[in-house]
A and B are shown apart, each in its own frame.
Chain A
Amino acid sequence: MVEIKDLHKSFDDLVVLNGVSFSVEMGQNMVVFGRSGTGKSVLLKCLIRLMIPDSGEIFIKDKNVLNLNRKELNDLRKDIGFLFQGSALYDSMSVRENLEFPLIRNFSLEQDEIDDRVHRVLEAVDLSDAIDKMPSELSGGMRKRVGLARSIITEPKLMLYDEPTTGLDPITSKEISTLIVDLQHAFKMTSIVVTHDVLCAKIIADCAIVLDGGHIVHEGTIEELLTAEDPFLKNFFSDEVINNNGRD
């Protein structure tokens, strides 16, 4: 489904990605860990060509993303959902308009079908009552849910999540993570999740990679990473593990 080969990205003298390679199989959920500023979000943005990498190759559904023309890229993007860190809801539009926007712009659907999809995704994220609210009237957790609903309304095959639980309390964080898994199963999606929330990763991930210094320094299942004897991983996960055990 997704294959990345030898990806490099720098900003002036700062090397962010330095030869990152990995692949994600269809239906798999991969979590990308790493300290702040290690290029996790940059990696996601390169994947969907919001940023152009300096070198390397990115294949999604066997298409080389970096070689696609504008139209081909837009067609591919219709099959990809992206949940931004701050949800990125359109401020000037109501929840309904936010959800309708990608459908009206990209698909020739009847209004009945659009209404049906809007109600279906809002029900899925348990926010049917917020349909006519403006984003400024929503709490952080509600914004995440609406952002999630907008991402899945086009029924994408691949979902990219950029810090889906950042800034949320542990309970809402757990709810969002569970919701992601539920939607994953309902819509049969593949996903890549950038996070440093271990609880979220434990709920979502089939496999995980850890980025540091522009490289993938570890990969495996969450359990393997959490129980590894490597000093970096022990240090990285120590606080998170303590916190999560406390929550459990």
Chain B
Amino acid sequence: MKFQKDKLFAVTQHRLSSFFETLAGLSIFSIRFSKEVFLPPYEGVEIRKHMIELGMKTLPIVGVTGFIIGLVMTMQLQPVLQRFGAEAFLPGAIAITIVRELGPVITALIFAGRVSSGIGAELGSMRVTEQIDAMEVSGVNPFRFLVVTRVVATTFILPILTVYVIFISLVGSYIAVVLVQNMTWEYFTGRVIFAVEFADAVPGILKTFIFGYIVGIVGAYLGFNAKNGTEGVGKASTTSVVASSLLILIFDMVLVKLTLWLWPTVK
């Protein structure tokens, strides 16, 4: 019994110390990023290449997910609103939910699953096959070429994907509405525009810059520091998804509170 207790204590201690070690490492890595991102040479071509690559890779899956979410949310909400005789509010209610919360968070989580693991695996594999060392030896700063470009790309591509997902979700929602009642697209979008205020849209989109940064920096950190061969690459890849998804949800919680505090009209 005592042996089991000691073992449990040792495992907990090891996990906690490893967690704080990773957190400290990630913080130092982020500080290095914030220094290096403003230093020339600016890798515009690489950033654009990664933005296109990552955007194209995620576009189909986030599109399908957005469409289904819009459709299903509407199908679920319609009978509820009908019960209270508030069917007219359906487009507005759906739009506000998607713009403020569901669109940004769902897109970010899917993006994390698709991209963070990819970055972790790619850089991890480059680390264990000494490609990063080779880059450094040839006088090129691998941090700037591999990390900065990817993190900047994820930071700027996620908001674009989010806007796309919001639009597709609204299309899905409209189709769900049309299946059960007569409503023109013009009327639907009119209700949406009427309901969604500037203070709903802007914080929702702004926070996706932070989510994009999280996806990029977590994947890059774990991949760039991968150890122990192929096992390390696999670990970097899976841990990237778990860690970035968790951080997205934690930051979302903080950012929602912050938004409500900064824009009191968003209630």
Task: Give the interface of A toward B (CB within 8 A).
Answer: 45, 48, 50, 74-75, 77-78, 80, 82, 84-86, 88-91, 101-102, 105-106, 150, 154
B131–A106 touching, CB < 8 Å: no
Can you identify 7 A-B contacts, CB atoms within 8 angstroms? A91-B125, A91-B126, A102-B138, A105-B139, A105-B140, A106-B138, A106-B140
Name which of B126, B133, B138 has the most chain A CB atoms within 10 A of its CB: B138
Taken residue by residue from 107 to 151, chain B's Cβ proximity to chain A (1 for < 8 Å, 0 otherwise) reads as 000000000000000000110011101111111110001000000
Taken residue by residue from 67 to 93, chain B's Cβ proximity to chain A (1 for < 8 Å, 0 otherwise) reads as 000000000000000000000000000
B139–A82 touching, CB < 8 Å: no
Contacts of B126 in A (CB 8 A): 90-91
Q: How many A-B residue pairs have CB under 8 A?
A: 51
Q: Which of B140-176 contact A (CB under 8 A)?
A: 140-141, 145
A89–B137 touching, CB < 8 Å: no
B137–A50 touching, CB < 8 Å: yes
> In the docked arrangement, what's the CA distance between A101 and B142, Å?
12
A86–B139 touching, CB < 8 Å: no
Chain B interface size range: 10 to 19
CB closest residue in chain A, given B136? A50
Contacts of A101 in B (CB 8 A): 138, 140
| Additional pairs, 15, CB under 8 Å, beyond known A89-B131, A90-B134 | A45-B133, A77-B138, A82-B137, A85-B130, A86-B130, A90-B126, A90-B131, A90-B135, A91-B126, A102-B138, A102-B139, A105-B140, A105-B145, A106-B138, A154-B138
Q: Pick the 4 closest A-B CB pairs, nearest first.
A: A88-B134, A102-B138, A88-B130, A74-B139
Contacts of B141 in A (CB 8 A): 74
Contacts of B133 in A (CB 8 A): 45, 50, 84, 88
B131–A105 touching, CB < 8 Å: no
> In the docked arrangement, what's the CA distance between A105 and B146, Å?
13
> In the docked arrangement, what's the CA distance between A119 and B71, Å?
58
A83 CB to nearest B CB, Å: 9
B139–A88 touching, CB < 8 Å: no
A77–B131 touching, CB < 8 Å: no
> In the docked arrangement, what's the CA distance between A75 and B126, Å?
23
Contacts of A91 in B (CB 8 A): 125-126, 129, 131
> In the docked arrangement, what's the CA distance between A85 and B128, Å?
12
CB closest residue in chain A, given B133? A50
> In the docked arrangement, what's the CA distance between A115 and B221, Å?
35
Contacts of B129 in A (CB 8 A): 86, 88, 91
B258 CB to nearest A CB, Å: 37
> In the docked arrangement, what's the CA distance between A90 and B145, Å?
13
B138–A88 touching, CB < 8 Å: no
Contacts of B135 in A (CB 8 A): 90
Q: A91-B125, A91-B126 are in contact. Are A84 and B134 (CB under 8 A)?
A: yes
B137–A48 touching, CB < 8 Å: yes
CB closest residue in chain A, given B130? A88
Name which of B133, B134, B145 has the most chain A CB atoms within 10 A of its CB: B134
A34 CB to nearest B CB, Å: 20
CB closest residue in chain A, given B128? A86
Contacts of A45 in B (CB 8 A): 133
